[in-house]
Amino acid sequence: MGWKEAAEPVLTRMPAVRRPEGHVPFKRKLAWTAGILILYFFLTNINLLGLNQAEATDLFGQFRAILAGEMGSILQVGIGPIVTASIVLQLLGGANLLGLDTDDPRDQVLYQGLQKLLVVVMTALTALPMVFAGGFLPAQPTLTLGGVTFGESGVQALMFTQIFIGGILILYMDEVVSKWGVGSGIGLFIIAGVSQRLVAGFLSLSEEGFFFSWYQILFTDDVQIGSLVGGDGLYQLIISEGQILALFTTVLIFAIVVYAESVRVEIPLSHARVKGARGRFPVKLIYASVLPMILVRALQANIQFLGQIVNSQTTMPSWLGVYADGQPVSGFFYYTAPIYSPDDWMWWTGLTQEPWMIMIRIGVDLTFMVIGGAIFAIFWVETTNMGPESTAQQIQNSGMQIPGFRQNVGVVEKVMERYIPQVTVIGGALVGLLAVMANMLGTIGAVTGTGLLLAVSITYKLYEEIAEEQMMEMHPMMREMFGKE
C-alpha cells in the first residue's frame, strides 16, 4: 500500500469550503471579498486573552508586512503556516517525491487535503515555541474566567488555543476568497497589512509619520537638522527624520512594478471555428507574479525564527550566531538575515559590524533572493498550471490556435517553450533583485521594500482580475469560450 492509499481516508475528510456550482456574479464576489477583509481587520484587533502585552516580543518582526497578521492578536501567526506549507509542497512536488498528478481529480483532492493538514501542523509548530519557549509571548501569572482561575500553565494553553484557532480561521478565509471572491486571500491580507502601515507611515502623529516629521522640521525646534553640508544634518534630512529617501523609494517601487507588469510578449491567437475572433496570450515579464517572493522571504523568516528559538533555549556557538537585544550581530544567523533598512548596511553611521561583514550579508541576501526567486518562480509556474504544456492545453480547449501553426497541442507547446521558461527565470530573478534594493533604501511606514513590492503587484493583478470579471459579466459568451462557466 502506497502513501496515497494510506493517507486518503484522512486527506479526503479534511474540511473544505464548497465550490460554487455555477457562475458567481461579480457583485457577490465583491461582497464575499469585502466581508472577509472586514473579518480580517476585526480579528487583528482581538488581543490574545492572557497575554502580558508589555513584555511580548514579535518573533516575525520585520517580516510582518509579508506574513500579515498582527502581533499579540488572535491572528498572531498570520499567513506564515500557509506559506510554509506551500514551500514544503513546492519542494516535494518539484523533486517529484509526492507522485501526485494535479490533472487527476483524485490527486487534486489529496493535494488540497495534504496542504490543509500541513497548515494545521505548521500552525501548531509555530505557536508552540512562541507560547511555551523563550518568553516571546509571556502569559499572565493568573487569569480568572467565569469564576475559574487558571495558573500560568493554564493561561499558556489558553493562548496557544487562541493562536491555533486564528491560524485555522485564516486558512479557511483564504479559501473562501479563492473560491467565492476576487483574487486570493493571501494577496488580500498582504495588501490590507501593507496599506494600513503605509497610511500610518504618512499620517501618524508621531516621529514615524512623514507629514508630522516635516511639520516638526519646518515649524518647531524639536528636530535639529543643522548644516546640510556637515555633521549629520544631511543624513537626518534624507534618511532619518526627513525620510526623503524612503519617499523616493516608495514612489519608485510603484512606478517600476506598474511598468514591469506592462512589459510582455503577446502571442497572437485566432479562433479555429469563429471567423474574425482573435486574441492575444500575454507572457509578462513578471510571468509568475511576485507571489513566489513570499515563499523566499518566508523561508528566510523561518530561518530567523529558528535562530531566535535556539538562542532563547541555549548558548549557541559564535559561528552559528551571537545575539544582542534579540537580534543577531554575527555568525550564520546574522549573514542569512535580510537587509531590512538603510540602517542595516550603512556602516559609516556607527554600526558595530565591520564593513566586510556587512558586504557578506548583502551578498548572501542578494544571492538568496535572486536565485531563490528564480527557482520558486519555476516551481510556482509548474504547480499552478502556467507551464508550456498546461498553457497549450488550455489554448487548445478554448478552441483557439496560433495563426500560421497547426491546431495541435504539441505545436502550441513548442511555441510556448520559446518564451515561458526564460521569462519565468528572468522575472523571478528581477523581482528578487528589486526586493533587496528596495529594502536597502527603505520605505515609508517601514513596510519593507519586499512588502511594498508585493502589495503593488498584487493590487495591479487584482485590478486586472476585476476588469476581466466585469468583461465576463458584460459578455456572458466569453465565459464559455475561456472556460469560466
Alpha-carbon distance 169 to 51, whole Å?
20
Average pLDDT over residues 54-62: 79
Q: Are residues 164 and 240 in the same domain?
A: no
Q: Are residues 264 and 396 in the same domain?
A: yes
Q: Are residues 159 and 67 in the same domain?
A: yes
Of the pLDDT bands very low, low, confident and very high (cuts 50, 70, 90), residue 479 is: low
Q: Are residues 217 and 313 in the same domain?
A: yes
Of the pLDDT bands very low, low, confident and very high (cuts 50, 70, 90), residue 137 is: confident
Task: Please check the confidence at residue 416 and state whether its pLDDT lies above 70.
Answer: yes
Counting residues of the chain whose pLDDT is more than 70, the rounded percentage is 90
Decide if 220 is inside a domain. yes
Cα dihedral sign, 183-186-188-190: negative
Decide if 177 is inside a domain. yes
Alpha-carbon distance 208 to 253, whole Å?
20
Q: What is the DSSP letter of 102?
A: T
Range of the domain at 74: 1-7+28-181
Of the pLDDT bands very low, low, confident and very high (cuts 50, 70, 90), residue 221 is: low
Decide if 62 is inside a domain. yes
pLDDT at 397: 79
Q: Are residues 177 and 220 in the same domain?
A: no
Decide if 203 is inside a domain. no
Q: Tally the residues of the chain.
A: 485
More confident residue, 397 or 311: 311
The candidate with the shortest Cα–Cα distance to 436, out of 357, 354, 350, 341, is 341
pLDDT at 474: 63
Domain end: 123, 158, 181, which one? 181
Alpha-carbon distance 342 to 466, whole Å?
36
Q: Are residues 375 and 232 in the same domain?
A: yes
Q: Are residues 173 and 291 in the same domain?
A: no
Q: For residue 47, what are the β-bridge partners?
A: 73
Q: Are residues 430 and 379 in the same domain?
A: yes
Q: Average the pLDDT over each of 115-124, 321-330, 379-388, 397-406 and give the range with the smallest value.
A: 397-406
Reported as a single tens digit per residue, the pLDDT across 171-209 is 999 999 999 998 888 889 988 888 888 888 888 887 778
pLDDT at 98: 74
Decide if 146 is inside a domain. yes
Task: Please check the confidence at residue 471 and state whether its pLDDT lies above 80.
Answer: no
Q: Are residues 229 and 173 in the same domain?
A: no
Alpha-carbon distance 343 to 448, whole Å?
13
Structurally, how many domains does the chain consist of? 2
Alpha-carbon distance 201 to 447, whole Å?
9
Q: Indicate the helix (H) or strand (E) that contains 148.
A: strand 148-150
Alpha-carbon distance 359 to 228, whole Å?
28
Q: Are residues 290 and 429 in the same domain?
A: yes
Domain end: 181, 199, 230, which one? 181
pLDDT at 476: 57
Task: Please check the confidence at residue 222 and state whether its pLDDT lies above 60.
Answer: no
Q: Are residues 289 and 432 in the same domain?
A: yes
More confident residue, 275 or 109: 109
Average pLDDT over residues 423-443: 88
Alpha-carbon distance 182 to 418, whole Å?
31
Decide if 340 is inside a domain. yes
Q: Are residues 320 and 383 in the same domain?
A: yes
Domain end: 131, 159, 181, which one? 181
Decide if 86 is inside a domain. yes
Reported as a single tens digit per residue, the pLDDT across 268-278 is 887 766 666 67
pLDDT at 439: 87
Task: Please check the confidence at residue 34 and state whether its pLDDT lies above 90.
Answer: yes
> What is the end-to-end Cα distance of the chain in Å, rounded?
38
Cα 1 to Cα 11, 118, 197: the distances in Å are 16, 22, 51
CATH number, residue 225: 1.10.3370.10
Decide if 23 is inside a domain. no
